[in-house]
Amino acid sequence: MNILCVGNSFAVDVSTYVHQIAKTNGIDINICVLYIGGCPIDLHWKNFLSKEKAYDFYINGEPKLRCDIFEGLSYMEWDYITFQQRSGDSGDASTFFPELTKLMEGIREYSKAKYLLHMTWSYGKDYSHEKYGSNPLDQAAMSADIRRAYLSVSDVSGIKYIIPSGFAIDLARKKYGDVLNRDGFHLNELARVLTGLLWVHYFTGKKLDVSKYHSTGYSYDDVTPPVKDELLPELDEIALKAIDMNRGHNLHD
């Protein structure tokens, strides 16, 4: 299975451990990211038109080369392509259009892949945002806006499938507290493993033996410890619950 994320750092966060987790369960998933930090949908469309070599191309969790969007599209035959808005605009469906529609139509000339939306997550409560405030940030309002926006975008774009990363982060915060971000908005190691499990479940519809997986802790620095093995069953349960909350927008409903 081959997955391409047309995204930004949030796509890097969720994809880092997908290949590893799948491999330990005998599942072959290649996942790549066309990455620009904080990249919005409209910039992806501009890069499509300009053919600018603007992307770092991540392959199975690691940056490998510099490319334009067409080199990413032709890197392999994709089964799935995901789209997402930059995090600060993810709660506003109007920011997706008309560029998302144009991007979908443009990419369709190069790939027959199935399209999906990647629902992002709200920021940590200690992070500032002009719309949702700070100290504390209105995290619940941001989460609700993101959910509504992605459902609306699904209806307008015709992309039925939504990957519920935002649901998984909300559920994990209820269990562990507001400890899922490393800088207020990017995911830390715990959350990267959680969303990795979510994505493998989402795309395969299979049960996983998490006892086979051991987090390496290499994803964004050299000092953060790996996720403890004993937490993996809890994270797996949260991932499955997030998918269950997402009924009607899952690949395997």
Domains, the chain, in order of start with CATH, read 2-245 (3.40.50.1110)
- Residue 70: CB atoms within 10 A of its CB come to 15
Convert the pLDDT of each residue in 43-102 to its tens digit: 999 999 999 999 999 999 999 999 999 999 999 999 999 999 999 999 999 999 999 999
Predicted pLDDT of residue 172: 98
Predicted pLDDT of residue 218: 67
- Rounded CA separation 68/75 (Å): 11
Res. 137: pLDDT tops 80: yes
- Rounded CA separation 174/33 (Å): 29
Alpha carbon 216 to its chain's center: 20
What integer is the mean pLDDT of 30-43?
Answer: 98
Res. 237: pLDDT tops 80: yes
State the chain's mean pLDDT as an integer.
96
Res. 217: pLDDT tops 80: no
Handedness of CA 66, 69, 71, 76 (dihedral sign): positive
Predicted pLDDT of residue 223: 80
- Rounded CA separation 40/7 (Å): 8
Q: How far apart are the first and last CA of the chain?
A: 19
